[in-house]
Amino acid sequence: MEHYYQPEIECASREQIKAWQDERLVKQVKHVYDNVPYYRKKMDEKGITPSDIRSTEDLHKLPFITKEDLREAYPYGLVAVPLGDCVRIQSTSGTTGRRVVAFYTQHDLDLWEDCCARAIMAAGGTKEDVVHVSYGYGLFTGGPGLNGGSHKVGSLTLPMSSGNTERQIQFMTDLGSTILCCTPSYAAYLAECIHEKGMQDEIKLKAGIFGAEAWTEEMRQDIQKSLGIKAYDIYGLTEISGPGVSFECSSQSGMHINEDHFIAEIINPVTGEVLPEGEKGELVFTSITKEAFPLLRYRTRDICVLSREKCSCGRTHVKMTKPMGRSDDMLIVKGVNVFPSQIETVLLNKGYPANYQIIVSREKNSDKLEVQVEMTPEMFSDSIREIEVRERELIEALKSMLGIYAVVKLVAPKTIARSEGKAKRVIDNRNLY
């Protein structure tokens, strides 16, 4: 039986959804124009005023917002309400220097948690379930979002956060966790540990809600088989709200976008032209209910396809496919955003030449990040012991920058292949898309 958190919204007619979007977009554009000088300047430069936006048909007239805009306006330049009305800050990992921060009013948090509650109930969750949240908490949106959504559903919530696998499994068995929320790679690792301990018969899990990193259909099948569950995808961005922007239903054929809160577009990533439905391109989101940090036409850099085909679950909101790649050079490794520029900054600061290669692989369903770095001729003449010391120093420096462990291999000068065109800095062997 299909479960809904807000059936009157999730199964609303297309006409009703369009009416909500039209009304809320007009209101949001005026809110942003009146309260965010940064936006007002961008709109003025395009010769656009709020009166030019009368419905979703006018959305294409608005300027795009990118992550660079967020960094340029850091920290408070895009906040649309008095700071006294904000109650929460969340942040996402990013390049060096200015991080991306998002602000929330209490109203924003309530709506975000509603979206996560929809995702939990779409995965079969009810107030009878024990929701085991193993996403990170703190600045990362994964833990707080699913935690709040679980509360809204009325489920018994285990705010485990990430790590300490022994304790995760102990609580999972002792407390009878039924829904697991974490990254897919951590779910696969938990499954491996459970099988090694021969405890699979003690696990009561029925479903998992997995996101924050790319994962394949093959990985889904593997997790479902090893944990004996149904695995659901969830999508979100800190900049927009966090997890719950879209979520998978029982059909497991794409993620329903919460269209009462977000308008989705697909554009040509080069020209910015809006593409017809069904075509592959870059996903763009407009927040139409956010108070504190409303982003209009935010470029996600994720490549995907939208579909309005009727869904067997009964939900009427548009579906997006799993992202099929990115239009920029960002990698998502173990749920963390990793930019080559971050790694390059560390290397240059440590006196290494800008000749390096990043190799990402997936071993036993867990991401592995390896950085191969050319030494200078002077470094190459060092003893093996000194080179090992250098590698350890770089490992620590990269961990401090990225927040995750990377294998470092120092190699001889001129051993990394050169290119006359754009240097091939990244080799991603995970076959995610």
Residue whose C-alpha is closest to residue 18's, from 48, 50, 55: 55
Residue 175, helix vs strand vs coil: helix
Angle between helices 184-196 and 217-227 in degrees, nearest 10: 30
Pair of tokens at residue 413? 């000068």
Whether the predicted pLDDT of 155 surpasses 80: yes
- pLDDT value of position 425: 81
| Residue 60 DSSP label | G
- pLDDT value of position 94: 47
Whether the predicted pLDDT of 280 surpasses 70: yes
Whether the predicted pLDDT of 105 surpasses 80: yes
Whether the predicted pLDDT of 97 surpasses 60: no
pLDDT single digits (tens) 205-230: 999 999 988 888 888 998 999 999 99
Q: How far apart are CA 172 and CA 217, in angstroms?
A: 25
Supply the CATH classification number for the domain 332-428.
Answer: 3.30.300.30
Q: How far apart are CA 151 and CA 145, in angstroms?
A: 10
Least confident residue range of 69-83, 156-170, 407-421: 407-421
Tell me what the mean pLDDT of segment 236-253 comes to. Answer: 96
pLDDT single digits (tens) 39-90: 999 999 999 999 999 999 999 999 999 999 999 999 999 999 999 999 999 9
State pTM to two decimals: 0.84
Q: Are 134 and 168 in contact (CB under 8 A)?
A: yes
Residue 356, helix vs strand vs coil: strand
Intervals of CATH 3.30.300.30 along the chain: 332-428
Pair of tokens at residue 412? 């001889």
pLDDT single digits (tens) 27-53: 999 999 999 999 999 999 999 999 999
Whether the predicted pLDDT of 422 surpasses 70: no
Mean pLDDT of the chain: 93
pLDDT single digits (tens) 311-361: 999 999 999 999 988 877 778 898 888 878 788 888 988 989 878 899 999
Intervals of CATH 3.40.50.12780 along the chain: 7-327
Supply the CATH classification number for the domain 7-327.
Answer: 3.40.50.12780
Whole-angstrom CA distances from 11 to 25, 314, 368 are 21, 6, 41
pLDDT single digits (tens) 177-206: 999 999 988 998 899 899 999 999 999 999
Pair of tokens at residue 397? 């420096």
